[in-house]
């Protein structure tokens, strides 16, 4: 597969949006605490999970990405998020120099390849299948926070929408499935999230899986600092791994929404051709 910055950015976007379409959800009251609580101090298992989920408004961090799709690519990255509004990722493979950037908002996808002076500006729905995933859901997915699809982070208001499994350690299954797929959050013995499995309803084998490790207590609650995701996009198997370091919460975050002058715009046809390389 020919590796260009724009292809890597679009594949990253596809991995992040593989579960559905971004739509802005109605605000859900945030009842989670701002500090991490040890799950063992709470009797109800769902309350124990909720107690580990702190509030946040912005985050920014450095880290590394590795994407495998036939061949592999790795790079240093910068990640910035504004809660329920935007996810921004900057590729910086050498000496901190930005070679590409990706911006996902509630309904749009922007990718800029600085090396080849190309960009894409399209609706996120081009990559997805109509399931009502919000920006907040995808942010939770890539921070290791359980959520209810289209409704936000798991909280007291949403407790009734998950079922506690009989297996040990803790398993939380969302009560509502979407387009024949259900999703399950698995936790380790310490109450830290271990994985998100997405599988056809009634089947145990996961079609998509996100594995979490290096879960740390932060001012925003328990956050996974290492994430590995597996998915199949356009019949192409892909694996994505992300590691974060030095996460900074609730500071001023700059999200560059500008489109470059003098760059050529890639069409939707060009975008889909990236998957056949």
Q: With bands split at pLDDT 50, 70 and 90, how would you rate the model's confidence at 42? A: low
Neighbours of 217 (CB within 10 A): 15
Considering only the C-alpha atoms of the chain, give the largest distance between any 2 of them, rounded to a whole number of Å: 60
Q: With bands split at pLDDT 50, 70 and 90, how would you rate the model's confidence at 62? A: very high
Q: With CA atoms as reference, report the closest residue to 197 among 153, 241, 228.
A: 228
**Measured between alpha carbons, how far is 42 from 225 in angstroms, rounded to an integer?**
25
pTM: 0.83
Structure tokens at 156: 């007291």
pLDDT of 35 > 50? The answer is no
Does 23 or 265 have the greater pLDDT score? 265
Structure tokens at 165: 């499994």
Q: With bands split at pLDDT 50, 70 and 90, how would you rate the model's confidence at 13? A: confident
**Cβ contact 229:240 at 8 Å:** yes
CATH 2.50.20.10 fits 5-276, yes or no: yes
**Measured between alpha carbons, how far is 132 from 178 in angstroms, rounded to an integer?**
9
Q: With bands split at pLDDT 50, 70 and 90, how would you rate the model's confidence at 127? A: low
**Measured between alpha carbons, how far is 80 from 59 in angstroms, rounded to an integer?**
6
pLDDT per position as a tens digit, 142-157: 999 999 988 999 999 9
Delimit the domains of the chain by residue range.
5-276
The alpha helices in 78-121, defined as continuous H runs, are none
């Amino acid at each position: 597969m020919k590796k260009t910055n724009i292809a890597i950015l679009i594949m990253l976007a596809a991995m992040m949006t593989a579960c559905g379409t971004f739509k802005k959800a109605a605000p859900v009251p945030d009842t989670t605490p701002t500090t991490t609580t040890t799950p063992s101090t709470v009797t109800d298992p769902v309350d124990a999970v909720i107690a580990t989920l702190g509030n946040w408004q912005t985050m920014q961090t450095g880290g590394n990405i590795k994407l495998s799709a036939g061949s592999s690519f790795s790079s240093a990255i910068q990640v910035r998020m504004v809660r329920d509004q935007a996810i921004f990722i900057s590729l910086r493979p050498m000496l901190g120099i930005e070679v590409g950037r990706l911006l996902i908002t509630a309904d749009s996808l922007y990718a800029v390849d600085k090396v080849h002076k190309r960009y894409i500006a399209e609706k996120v729905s081009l990559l997805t299948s109509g399931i009502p995933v919000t920006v907040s859901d995808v942010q939770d997915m890539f921070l290791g926070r359980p959520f209810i699809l289209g409704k936000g982070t798991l909280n007291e208001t949403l407790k009734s929408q998950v079922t506690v499994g009989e297996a040990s350690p803790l398993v939380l299954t969302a009560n509502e499935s979407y387009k024949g797929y259900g999703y399950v959050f698995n936790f380790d013995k310490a109450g830290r999230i271990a994985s998100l499995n997405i599988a056809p309803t009634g089947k145990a084998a996961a079609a998509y899986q996100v594995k979490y490790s290096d879960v740390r207590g932060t001012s925003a609650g328990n956050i996974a600092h290492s994430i590995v995701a597996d998915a199949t996009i356009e019949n192409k198997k892909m694996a994505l791994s992300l590691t974060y370091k030095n996460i900074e919460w609730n500071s001023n975050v700059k999200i560059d929404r500008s489109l470059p002058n003098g760059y050529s715009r890639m069409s939707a046809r060009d975008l889909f051709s990236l998957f056949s390389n």
